[in-house]
Structure 1
Amino acid sequence: MASTQLAVHKRFDIDFPVSDPSTAQVTSASACEVRQAWARIPDPLSQQQTETLRERIVHRLKSQQAALVAHYYVDAQLQDLALETGGCVGDSLEMARFGRDHPASTLIVAGVRFMGETAKILSPEKRVLMPDLDANCSLDLGCPPDAFAAFCDANPDRTVVVYANTSAQVKARADWVVTSSIALEIVTYLHQRGEKILWGPDRHLGHYIQQQTSADMLLWQGSCLVHNEFKGDELLELKKAHPDASVLVHPESPASVVALADIVGSTSKLIAAVTESTAGTFIVATDQGILHEMQKQAPGKTFIAAPTAGESATCKSCAFCPWMAMNGLAGVNACLEHGSGEIVLDPALGRQAHKPIQRMLDFAAAYKKNIRASGDLSQDVHLFSQIGPA
C-alpha cells in the first residue's frame, strides 16, 4: 500500500488583495482580485486500508514518542485518533500550546501550514511534521509577507495586529498576534490606550471587531475561502424554516451572516455554546468539520450546516476547507514512517515571530486573572505592566 494517496488536484478561487504601489494601501474589498489556488484531494481508503493505517500510526506514535495534534476542521477519523492516542483536538493556538507542553519530541500537526509553523515557533526544539506541507490557507496565501510589510511600512503610526492564520514571516512583522477567541479583548485594550490599528488579514473578522470596539482600524482585505461563502439571504430563509434554532457564526463570515447570529465566536466558543445553550437545534456557520465535535458534546441535539449558496446553486467551498481535507491517515503514516513534511524555520525568524504570540499569551493570562466583571480594561491598571509594551 502506498504511503500516501494524494493525487487528484482541484482549483479554487481566492481573494488576493492588490495594493497601490505608491502607497501600499489596500483599504477596500474592491481592491482585491481573484486568483486561483489548488488543493490535493486524498483518494478514499477502503476499510481494510483504514484499519491497517490506524494500527501502524498508533504503534509508531508510541514507539517514536510522538503526539498527534489535530484541528477541529480535519477529518473526523483524525480527530478521534488524536484523542485516542493522547493527543489533542483544538483550534490553532490550543494545538500549538498542547504541543509545547507535551513531553513528545515529535509533533504531527494535522491542519494547515500556518498551524505547523505556529507549533514550531512555540516548540523550536521539537520536530514538527505535517501530513502535507502544501495544505495551506486562503488567508495566508492572500497575505504575502513582502506586500504586507510594505503595507505596514506605509502606516508606521499604527500598531500591527495580525490574525493567527498567517505565515511566520507575517507574524514576525506584527506587534500582536491574535486568535478569534481573544482578538476582541486585545483590540478593545489597544483602542482604550488610544492606539490606531493596522489589521490583517481577514477583513470580515476585522470589520466585526471594528464594529464592536469603534477602534480606528485599517484592514488588509483578505478572506477565508470557507467563511466568505456563507450567504445572509439563504441563512435568513433557513432560519425561517427552523425558527427555534440558535444560529452560531464564526466572525470570519460576512457581516450579513454575522448580523443573523445568536452567538458569534471562535471555534472553541461555538463548541461550548452547544452545551451551554438550552436550544435543541443549531444552525452552524463555520467549517463543517466542527460538527463532529459538536455532536460528541451534545449527542441529543440537532446541527444544521449554514448555506454557502442559494438553492440549486453550485458552491465553491461547501463549508469544507479544501486544505484541511488534505490531511489523511496516509499522510500521518508517511510522517511517522519517513519523517516527511517537516516544518523548518530559520531560528531568528522563529524567535521574532514568538514575541507577538507570547504577548498575546501574556495578555490572555493577565486578562483572565485580573479583569473585572465589567469588562472595562482601562480600569485594570496592572494589566499592561504585566505584558510590557509592544
Structure 2
Amino acid sequence: MAMNSIVAPIEIDVPFPKPPVELSADEKNHHRSLIVELLKRHNAVLIAHYYTDPEIQSLAEETGGFVGDSLEMAKFGARHPAETLIIAGVKFMGETAKILSPEKRVLMPTLEATCSLDLGCPIEPFSEFCDQHPDREVVVYANTSAAVKARADWVVTSSIAVDVLEYLAEQGKKIIWGPDKHLGRYIQQKTGADMLLWQGACIVHDEFKFNALEQCMALYPEAAVLVHPESPQNIVDLADFVGSTSQLIKAAKELPNKQVIVATDKGIFYKMQQAAPEKELIIAPTAGEGATCRSCAHCPWMKMNVLQLLSQVFERDDNEIFVDHDLAEKALIPLQKMVNFANDIQVNVKSNI
C-alpha cells in the first residue's frame, strides 16, 4: 500500500486577515435587524458553516437559514426556494453552492475569506501531479477550488471520505488524494487504500500540540477527547472519537462523559453546546513547543464573516460568486457523485432501521 509524500508542501504566502473590529451591543442589534429585513426583501437565505462565529450561526437559524458542514450547506441551498444564497463561510463553499445551484445568485460577506487547504493546492501543480499518475483515481477534499474539483474524479467531505475511499479500495482503485495530508493519512489507515498524498494542511487543525493536549487531559481525566481527522497523527492517537464536524457534534451528545475536549475549530461549540447543553466543552490547546497560534483554534478567514459585512452584501459589487460555465459543468460531475453517494448512504441506513 502506497502512502508517499509526493510533493513538498506549497508555501502559503498570504497575510492572515486582521481580527475584525468588535461591535457594541447596539451596533450588533442594528446590523442584525438590517440583515433580517434584507433577507426578506431580496428573497434570500443565510447559510453558515459550523466554524463561523456564534452570532452568525444564530442569525442563520433565526431567519430560517441553515448551519452545517460544507456538503450540507450546498445541499440546503440547492433545495431551498430562495433566489439568493448568502454563504457565510470561505470562498470554496460559495463556489460549491454556485455549482450546485447555477440559477441562483450566491453572495458572501467577503470573497477574501479563503482556506489554507485551498491556497496550498493550486490547480497547475496539482494537475501536473495528477498527469504523472494517469492510472490513479483523483479524489479531492471539498476544501479546494472549483478548478481543482473539475480536475477530480470524486469530491468528498470529511463526513463521507472514509466511506467513498473504502468503496474505491474495494474496487481495486489506486488513489491520488488532495489536499489534506492528515485526513489522507487517516483515511488510508481506515481503509487500506493505495493512496498518494498531496501535502496540504489546515492551519487550525495542524496547530494542536501533543504535549499540551496530554497536559489538558491530565487536568480533565474524565473528559472524552474528540478530534477532527485533519489533525496530526499524534493528536488523533489521543482521541476517544475521530470524525467530521457533524459526527463530532453527535459524539459530544451521545458519549457519557460530562466533559469534552474538542480538537477542531472552536466555532463548532455553538452547535455542540445546543446538542449537549449539559456538557462542559474544552478547546484542545494550541500552545506548547512549536506553537505559533496562527489560528488559536479559530480560522482567521471564517472570522471574517461579520455582521457589518453581512448587512452590506446587497450593496457591494465585489462579493458575488461566479464560476465559469465550462468549469462548473466539469466540477459538477464529481460533486454530484458525492451528493448521490451521500444520499445512497442515508437510504441504506434508513432501510436497515
- What's the TM-score bracket when you normalise by the shorter of the two chains? over 0.9
Paired residues of 2:10 and 2:200 also in contact (CA < 8 A): no
* Cα gap change, 1:115 to 1:33, in 2 (>3 Å): closer
1:257 partner amino acid: I
The reply to whether residue 71 of structure 1 matches residue 49 of structure 2 is yes
Matches for 1:144-293 after TM superposition, within 5 Å: 144-293=122-271
Mark the CA change 1:110 to 1:347 in structure 2 (over 3 Å): closer, same or farther.
same
Q: Is the 8 A contact 1:334 1:340 kept in 2?
A: no
Q: Does the Cα contact within 8 Å between 1:68 and 1:109 map onto a contact in 2?
A: yes
| Superposed displacement of residue 360, structure 1 | 1.3
SS at match of 1:36: coil
* TM-score, with length taken from structure 1: 0.86
Matched, 1:35 2:12: yes
Given that 2:39 and 2:45 are in contact with CA atoms closer than 8 Å, whether structure 1 keeps it comes out as yes
Question: Does the 8 Å contact 2:242/2:248 carry over to 1?
Answer: yes
Match of residue 48 from structure 1:
26
- Given that 2:204 and 2:296 are in contact with CA atoms closer than 8 Å, whether structure 1 keeps it comes out as yes
How many residue pairs match? The answer is 349
% identical equivalent positions:
57
Measured in 2, the distance between the counterparts of 1:208 and 1:352 equals 28
312-321 or 42-51, larger mean C-alpha shift:
312-321
Between 41-50 and 26-35, report the one with greater CA deviation.
Answer: 26-35
Q: What's the counterpart of residue 300 of structure 1?
A: 278
Q: Offset at 1:33? A: 5.6
Q: Are 2:350 and 1:351 equivalent residues in the alignment?
A: no
| Structure 1 unmatched ranges of 5 or more | 1-25, 375-390
1:137 to 115, 125, 130: 115
Instruction: Find the residue that maps to 1:322 and give its secondary structure.
Output: coil
Q: CA distance change for structure 1 residues 312 and 203 in 2, over 3 Å: closer, same or farther?
A: closer
Shift of 1:32: 2.5
> Which TM-score applies when normalising by structure 2?
0.95
1:323-378: CA deviations, max 9, x gaps?
Answer: 0011101111111334541001111111110110111111222233347999xxxx
- Match of 1:148, SS? helix
The answer on whether the counterparts of 2:4 and 2:195 sit within 8 Å (CA) in structure 1 is no
Pairwise CA RMSD of aligned residues? 1.9
Bigger CA drift: 345-354 or 124-133? 345-354
Give the C-alpha shift of residue 312 in structure 1: 11
Q: Does residue 96 of the first structure (1) align with residue 74 of the second (2)?
A: yes
Shift of 1:43: 1.4
Asked if 1:81 is matched to 2:81, the reply is: no
1:111 maps to 89
Consecutive unaligned residues of structure 2, counting only runs of 5 or more, are none
Structure 2: which amino acid aligns with 1:157? D
**Range that drifts further, 27-36 or 69-78:** 27-36
Deviations 1:122-151 (A, max 9, x none): 100000000010100000000001111001
Give the Cα–Cα distance (whole angstroms) in 2 for the partners of residues 29 and 229 of structure 1: 23
> 1:240 Cα shift?
1.7
Cα separation, partners in 2 of 1:194 and 1:325, compared to 1, 3 Å? same
Structure 1: distance between partners of 2:141 and 2:291? 31
Contact 2:20/2:303 (<8 A) preserved: yes
**Inter-partner Cα distance in structure 2 for 1:313 and 1:326:** 23
In structure 2, the CA distance between the partners of 1:28 and 1:120, relative to structure 1 (3 Å rule), is same
